[in-house]
Structure 1
């Protein structure tokens, strides 16, 4: 039997909002260049939790039910240039629900953030699950 060196977790903390934003920025930077170019104008925000209105609108039972959200007019619905008074297309990543999911599953936090980011941006493009998986795979390569 081989002994595995133990990792000292005693001083490690979950990433705060600023660190999580850097993690999301790094995940976005790893996406294929042509995909990122099409995301011009999409704003990515990191919050601890969805607001109460979003939780009610999405019929969430808990504030931990929603990992991310796309709001706006996707390219598949004719979105492009902003109309007067229209908010920009936005993707929210919810730090605490993502961390909770991460703690329960066997995948890296970076992979999970990339997955949620691609999935939510995928709504902007109207992409299929297979398309989104191909983009994730390219980001991991």
Structure 2
């Protein structure tokens, strides 16, 4: 369900814009999705093959139920979340469930973008790779290696 990176020509390119260079409008969900799809497209094999059925969703914030389940009070504290069973825990008998999903939370990402001074493209890539890492059940060290490979 992941499609190739999209073109977001309605607005000026901001993928490498630093917060201090940011325009007067906030990047919208469509731009975040484009950056996320581009990040997913850079993830190398053998991981890439296993991402075809993962659904990518961009939302303003995590819902209250999700925040409560994670014990998070501040919705700005969660920029992304993987929902699903890691690849290593799946079996041929799994059926009827929802597809694996990567949720990106736009407002939290934008807040972190302004706070850290990181480029928006790099920040979205970091969040996406981290959530893909959860899909594969990777350790933090392995996630950093995957991020370097996708870089």
Q: Which runs of 5+ in 1 are unaligned?
A: 1-7
Q: Which runs of 5+ in 2 are unaligned?
A: 1-19
Find runs of 4+ consecutive structure 1 residues off by over 6 angstroms.
Answer: none
Q: Distance in 2 between matches of 1:53 and 1:27?
A: 28
Greater C-alpha Rg: 1
> Given the superposition, is the C-alpha separation of residues 93 and 79 from structure 1 closer, same or farther in structure 2, using an over 3 Å criterion?
farther
TM-score scaled by structure 1?
0.84
Query: Aligned residue for 1:83?
Result: 95
> Given the superposition, is the C-alpha separation of residues 11 and 118 from structure 1 closer, same or farther in structure 2, using an over 3 Å criterion?
closer
Q: Distance in 2 between matches of 1:130 and 1:14?
A: 32
Q: Distance in 2 between matches of 1:33 and 1:88?
A: 21
1:109-128 alignment, distance < 5 Å: 109-128=120-139
How far the C-alpha of 1:108 sits from its partner, in A, is 1.3
Name the Cα RMSD after superposition: 2.0
Q: Distance in 2 between matches of 1:123 and 1:18?
A: 24
Q: Distance in 2 between matches of 1:123 and 1:117?
A: 10
1:88-99 alignment, distance < 5 Å: 88-99=99-110
How far the C-alpha of 1:139 sits from its partner, in A, is 1.6
> Given the superposition, is the C-alpha separation of residues 88 and 80 from structure 1 closer, same or farther in structure 2, using an over 3 Å criterion?
farther
